[in-house]
Structure 1
Amino acid sequence: MGLACAKVLVEQGIAFQGFELHADVGGLWDISGPRSTMYESAHLISSRTKTEFRDFPMDPGVADYPSHRVLKAYFHAFADRFDLRRHYRFNAEVLRCEPLDAGGWRVTWREGGAEHDGLFSGVMIANGTLSEPNMPRFEGRFDGALIHSAQYRHPDQMRGKRVLVIGGGNSGCDIVVDAVHHGECADLSLRRGYHFVPKYVFGKPADTLGGLPLPMWLKRRVDGMILRWFAGDPQRVGFPQPDHKLYESHPVVNSLAIFHAGHGDIRIRPDIARFDGRTVHFKDGTQADYDLVIAATGYLLHYPFIDRDLLNWQGAAPHLFLNCLHPTRDDLFVMGMVEATGLGWQGRHEQA
């Protein structure tokens, strides 16, 4: 999101200073970054052509669903093509953004072991939405390793261990499939069901087959029928019934979790009641022992460098016009708080 904002600011002739915590561009797609939540097996869940920037397409030889390493290289090339790095301070951590009575903002950052500050006409926040783990609280104590999926990097962390993954979103399904191949066992604990979308339909990436725009009620009916043809019924292999309609929540784009559940490689478990040593008690009265529990339970919006009151924070998120514009200030913007099917990075570019 930050690079999309930087590119648009350059195109509009607006002078700006970018700050990046890491040593280079790439954001969460750079697995070596200090705030990256990437893992080795991660790939795009939307296809290349539906995700790329329109004026900077990926090479046609790139896979339909490229890996995080390919995407890191893509963002590096994007920054080179539009000469964006010269506008950034790297290894710079923004500490505070404070509005001034006379107008403008004082921004304080840490760089090179020292604090610095500067005055700016406005602030555009684009630090991403997938970096602050949402770690639930559990009853009891677990004596094995309990981590959030943000701390999961490599399948070696699972080797020889009995693994329980909590949460069946896209990351959770990726990680439990890793556990099939590298762990001693692979269980998946779910509070609710999900709609599954296979990555390929009729031999093509599923998101490239949208066709004509349809009313939502008809799109749900048509797409639901296609999904039943190609993904089958996840309830047959143990997944719970979804508690929401198709497209009311982001679907899980994964073909392998259902495949492995159908082969008995993944056991579907209900929600957790409590921990007791290495034993996990589930809400249906069953229990099992594990060495590693990974909570793939999502992320929280996190802007620690600015007072929440300045963001018109309500509930779990800032309350902004178009999820971007402050209702009373014309010098404060929050980018990236949008999610929609088919949005891709071009959608972020258009928001900027």
Structure 2
Amino acid sequence: MSHASVTPHTSSDAADVLDAPTREKVLVVGAGPAGLAAAAALKALRVPFDLVDGNKDVGGIWNEEREDSPVWPAMEMVSSTRFTQYEDMIQPVSFPPFLRPGQMAKYLRAYAARYELTDHFLPKVSVRTATPFDEEGVWQVELSNGKVAVYSALVAAHGISGRPHLPRWASEVPDEVRTLHAAQWTGSDGLEGKRVLIVGSGQSAADIAVDAARRALEVRWSVRTGHWVVPRSIGGRPGDVAASHEPSLLGPLNEKIAEQAVRRTIGDPQSLGLPRPSASLLEDAVIISDELAPRIRDGRVTPTGDVESIAADATVSFSAGAEYTPDVIVFATGYEQASEYLPEDVVPRTADGELDLFLGTFPRGRDNLVLLGQQRVNGGVLPLLVEQADVAAYALHAMRSGSAQAEEFRRIRERGDSEVPAHEAREESGVRGKLESLLPGRREDQRSDAGAAAASRSTGASAASRSAGASRDEGLVPFVDRDRLLGRLRFVRGLFA
């Protein structure tokens, strides 16, 4: 597959597009994996839209030139290419099983070019404010180029890394200690001779601890919540691929088999000095890493307890009684569920501070707003983003026509997630098939391979994809059970298909 580069529009191009009437259009905010999925789905249903992003190219956080990206060049994705691709365009066979950011960026640019999504793309244009006018059923949007436009609906695909979360004691860190959030991590260069403290219990904290250990003098890892550590590969295959083939009818036996396999390859978390996991392996928000256990065992990374306090001389006290004086503190403490351009009262919150979204996507009582990708999952999130985007496109299309399907969707939306049964994956790929049919000479080989991948995703319980609610502060981006949410989205998609 060739990686066609995207030729961005100039600022004058953007002005020309926005000068045209936009009232009947949908505005997609963010040109990362979720935004591209939404753009492709809307195009397949012939719903007019604009796609905006503050960067000059598509790709979202995987864009190599984006300064505020929470990924770094040497990082490897924890989900394999099998679960990091759109159903209608497979990853190049020349790519390794686990991609680096630059490779994912090339794939996303190629996808946008293939379906001519860049014809709708306004580069270096971000949204400053978005105000709903409920009586008219439209949004007034102020853009970074000074334009004010009116759109019929808004698809918020801005991602989850816009507002980093810091613990309360972060404000007490002395000035002589360098502090940064995981979103600012660019690699371990410059850490030679430094004593580094990583704060956080999840995947990002583990990845940064391993990366920091390549150059730092010492690395301490403050872990509050225990999680299972699982290998990237099982039996010579990527772990998420192997897990997708496990027999789902074995039930609890699957869990015992999986835990025994992890104990043989990596060991119990407690044997590494980590807290005991609060959930079983198949229900845990696992850490996927081949390098973490060796780094802990050779002393390059030392787990510690939760931080209790930090003194004026930068001495950190831990719950286990130990102390440490770092030169650098990295907060891998998650992100808050928030948007800088949406009014706070547009989407209500639950008692836990989470956004109250039907299927993690749709605000109740609001027909012209969709939020994509506001969850964390283990393994590949792209299948979830695609399903959310497909259902969103179908729903927005139905709302425009005032069909009976729209009324049924509203009824189910107001009843809530618990009323929606999980639904086995269908063989067809939803709105993707409609988009593919718009291309001359569609690629049957890609569709069959993608269909097989989609089918494998829906069978079995995946140790690399299931996640339970890990302990966290209120208002942070939540972990969800990906397979359960996918099942419910597919059921609702059936209303429109």
TM-score (norm 1): 0.94
* Residue 342 of structure 1, CA deviation: 5.4
Match of residue 345, structure 1, among 354, 369, 382: 382
**Deviation sequence 1:152-196 (CA, Å, 0-9, x none):** 112114222111111131111111112221111111111121111
Is the aligned partner of 1:35 residue 2:68? yes
SS at match of 1:108: strand
State the match for 1:22 in structure 2: 55
* Residue 94 of structure 1, CA deviation: 0.3
State the match for 1:326 in structure 2: 363
* Residue 64 of structure 1, CA deviation: 0.6
TM-score (norm 2): 0.67
**Residues in 2 aligned to 1:266 and 1:341: alpha-carbon distance in whole angstroms:** 23
**Residues in 2 aligned to 1:172 and 1:31: alpha-carbon distance in whole angstroms:** 21
**Residues in 1 aligned to 2:291 and 2:349: alpha-carbon distance in whole angstroms:** 38
**Deviation sequence 1:83-118 (CA, Å, 0-9, x none):** 11121211112011111132211111112xxx2111
Give the 5 Å matches for 1:59-208: 59-100=92-133, 101-111=135-145, 115-138=146-169, 140-142=172-174, 143-208=176-241
Bigger share in strand: 1
Equivalent residues of 1:43, 1:68 under 8 A apart? yes
SS at match of 1:124: strand
Is the aligned partner of 1:313 residue 2:354? no
Bigger share in helix: 2
Identical residues among aligned pairs (%): 27
State the match for 1:292 in structure 2: 328
State the match for 1:270 in structure 2: 305
**Residues in 1 aligned to 2:250 and 2:158: alpha-carbon distance in whole angstroms:** 34
**Residues in 2 aligned to 1:340 and 1:171: alpha-carbon distance in whole angstroms:** 13
Is there any run of 5+ residues in structure 2 with no aligned partner, and where? 1-33, 390-497
**Residues in 1 aligned to 2:325 and 2:378: alpha-carbon distance in whole angstroms:** 38
SS at match of 2:87: coil
State the match for 2:281 in structure 1: 246
Q: State the superposition RMSD in angstroms.
A: 1.8
SS at match of 2:61: helix
* Residue 25 of structure 1, CA deviation: 0.7
* Residue 129 of structure 1, CA deviation: 1.3
Equivalent AA in structure 2 for residue 122 of structure 1 = A
My pick for the range that moved more, 124-133 or 314-323, is 314-323
My pick for the range that moved more, 248-257 or 287-296, is 248-257
**Deviation sequence 1:289-330 (CA, Å, 0-9, x none):** 211111111111221211122112234322121111221121
* Residue 34 of structure 1, CA deviation: 4.1
SS at match of 2:140: strand
**Residues in 2 aligned to 1:21 and 1:215: alpha-carbon distance in whole angstroms:** 48
Equivalent AA in structure 2 for residue 73 of structure 1 = K
Equivalent residues of 2:75, 2:101 under 8 A apart? yes
My pick for the range that moved more, 186-195 or 35-44, is 35-44
Is there any run of 5+ residues in structure 1 with no aligned partner, and where? none
Alpha carbons of structure 1 residues 147 and 86: separation in structure 2 relative to 1, 3 Å: same
State the match for 1:260 in structure 2: 295
**Residues in 2 aligned to 1:167 and 1:343: alpha-carbon distance in whole angstroms:** 21
* Residue 339 of structure 1, CA deviation: 4.4
Equivalent AA in structure 1 for residue 238 of structure 2 = P
* Residue 340 of structure 1, CA deviation: 4.5
Equivalent residues of 1:21, 1:34 under 8 A apart? no
SS at match of 1:132: coil
State the match for 2:261 in structure 1: 226
SS at match of 1:154: coil
**Residues in 2 aligned to 1:99 and 1:243: alpha-carbon distance in whole angstroms:** 42
* Residue 18 of structure 1, CA deviation: 1.4
Alpha carbons of structure 1 residues 83 and 312: separation in structure 2 relative to 1, 3 Å: same
* Residue 215 of structure 1, CA deviation: 6.3
**Residues in 2 aligned to 1:215 and 1:311: alpha-carbon distance in whole angstroms:** 40
Task: Between the two structures, name the one with larger relative contact order (CA 8 Å, sep ≥ 6).
Answer: 1
Equivalent AA in structure 2 for residue 300 of structure 1 = E
Equivalent AA in structure 2 for residue 119 of structure 1 = V
**Equivalent residues, number:** 349
